[in-house]
Structure 1
Amino acid sequence: MRESYAPIILQRKAAKIRKETGDPRWWCRYDQKQSLFEVMKLNLSRPFVMAVTEPICIFWNVYIGIVYGILYLCFVAYPIVFRDIRGWSLGVSGLAFCGIGTGSLITVACEPLIRRMIDRHKPDPETGKPPPESMVSFVCISAILIPAGELWFAWTCAPASIPWIAPILAGACFGAGNTGVFIYANNYITYSYGMYAASALAGNSVIRSILGGVMPIVGTYLYAGIGPNWAGTLLGLLEVAIIPIPFVFYKYGYKIRQKSTLIVRMQEDKKKLEGKRERVSQLMAANGGGLNRKEEV
């Protein structure tokens, strides 16, 4: 597999030129030597710093965390609904999750159509590609599918006289929305932060994993206390309350990205690098394709 991480590529390029020319003055910005402790400190702290200082990370961590936590609540809700209320056996009740799985597969199968929708957006003048906000366009659709499926499930899961297919079909709607959020919200974060995407996603993983672990514990008492109908309704209304988050980022995402210290710094570094490359190209042209002085790679 080819290396795609920009700092490593630059380091290897600088090392190759040093070896070919025998001149140690060739270097790149990532060649600065740091102790293992400093490297570990920087890389382990950055996800948490970004999680509390970056507007994009703050809101998307909350949004994805809630969606993820409620998804994990299904492992509490489904046994209560299909085993305790409807009397299904342990093995058969597990098949109820086929609804969520089918919804997820539908979203994956629709990827070519979703990609067309994303590619229809006006290209970013700097990259020539659709802007990161184009990814949020499908998240907006998914943000509606999730509470729709949750509320549908809430009022068809009980009593047992309601046909069993109704709550399972609700799971398909719910699963399709969840898959859309996880894929395209993460894509938005990745495209927004570039080389810092791994740190942004790491912080997001920590937050959503915490909520994914806590929510099922709370859910047991929630479903036992107010019943599956009202418990599902409460969760559905919570998902309705966070619907504005993707819509706000879809409309104002560019302005929000410009408020990010890391993203602005990344853009400035990119412009500096492009300027240096242009100067090197001009210098090579002036010297007939050769260099008589060294530049940073």
Structure 2
Amino acid sequence: MARRLREETGNQKLRPRLDADLGKPSTQRLLTAMVLPLKMLLSPNISVISFLTAVGYGFMYILYTTFPQTFLCIYAWEPKNIGLAYLGTAVGNLLGMILGGGISDAIVKRRAKNRQAKPENRLIPMIFFWPLLFCGTYIAAAYTTHSASEMAATCVLRSLVGGLVPLFSNKLYSRFDVGWAFSLLTLIALALAPVPFLFYWYGERLREKFDRSFLGR
């Protein structure tokens, strides 16, 4: 498209949007690339949905760090069998990626045939299974031009939660016991359950507002 417009108009400065920064100094492009992920976190869509993913990521790390205490001290497993306890999360994550991705793709294709294509269709599986499904496909589809920066912003939140959770997860289990600790996690999951549904309905409007305010699009 850009090449055709250059030939038709004679304006050799026309470039695709993705190449718009190539004429800027390398230091300015580097600074823009470093700041953009933090800027993208100002978007309600990215910040809240990324937080939701980070919480699910934190739940997984709580399980990882408390399995030895739970199965050794409470269920009296032999240490050599502790590795078997991790098979459940491994199988669950695998099924979540395969089935979640397949269901998401099927929904998007069906909506596209009915002329209802929008990135928020990727959130439909999360409405029912958000702790099991991450939001990377939605973020990439919602902001295609800056998808790398958006995924970087998501990874920052997710990594922070993954690094902080092991510091208090065993203390959480010691204070509340296994039953109440899992009940607390369940209540947190239920409190956050409406978020994908709300962003499915209002996400497009929020994205457009953010694009105008911060990205100038």
TM-score (norm 1): 0.63
Q: 1:78 to 1:30 in 2, by over 3 A?
A: same
Q: What is the DSSP-based 3-state SS (H/G/I as helix, E as strand, rest coil) of the residue aligned with 1:88?
A: coil
Q: Does 1:102 align with 2:52?
A: no
Q: Deviations over 1:73-94 (max 9, x none)?
A: 1122211211221122233111
Name which one, 1 or 2, has greater alpha-carbon Rg: 1
Matches within 5 A, 1:108-187: 108-110=97-99, 111-122=101-112, 130-143=117-130, 146=131, 177=132, 181-182=133-134, 185-187=135-137
4+ residue stretches of structure 1 with deviation over 3 A?
Answer: 23-27, 111-114, 122-125, 262-266
On the 8 A contact 2:103/2:125 being kept in 1, the answer is no
The answer to whether residue 20 in structure 2 is matched with residue 70 in structure 1 is no
Q: Which residue of 2 aligns with 1:38?
A: 28
Q: 1:263 to 1:119 in 2, by over 3 A?
A: farther
- In structure 1, what is the Cα distance between the partners aligned to 2:162 and 2:212? 28
Give, in angstroms, the shift of residue 209 of structure 1: 0.4
Amino acid at match of 1:67: G
Look up the SS of the partner of 1:195 in the other structure: coil
> How many percent identity over aligned positions?
24
Q: Deviations over 1:230-270 (max 9, x none)?
A: 1111111111111111010112222222222269957x5xx
CA shift in 2, pair 1:115/1:34, >3 Å: closer
SS of 2:23 mapped into structure 1: coil
Instruction: Assess, with a 3 A threshold, how the Cα gap between structure 1 residues 119 and 197 changes in structure 2: closer, same or farther.
Output: same
Question: How many Å apart are 1:123 and its aligned residue?
Answer: 5.5
Report the counterpart of residue 193 of structure 1 in structure 2. 143
Q: Distance in 1 between matches of 2:153 and 2:212?
A: 15
Report the RMSD for the aligned CA atoms in angstroms: 2.9
Question: Is the contact made by 1:140 and 1:247 (CA closer than 8 Å) also made in structure 2?
Answer: yes
* 1:114 to 1:24, Cα distance in 2 relative to 1, 3 A: closer
Cα deviations by residue, 1:198-249 (Å, 9 ceiling, x for unpaired): 1111011001100111011111211111211111111111111111110101
Partner of 2:206: 256
Distance (Å, rounded) in 1 between the aligned partners of 2:114 and 2:212: 19
SS in 1 for 2:146: helix
CA contact (8 A) 1:55 1:256 kept: yes
Gaps of 5+ in 1: 1-8, 147-176, 269-297
Aligned length: 210
TM-score, normalization by structure 2: 0.84
Q: Contact conserved, 2:43 with 2:207, CA < 8 A, in 1?
A: no
8 A Cα contact 2:21 2:29, kept in partner: no
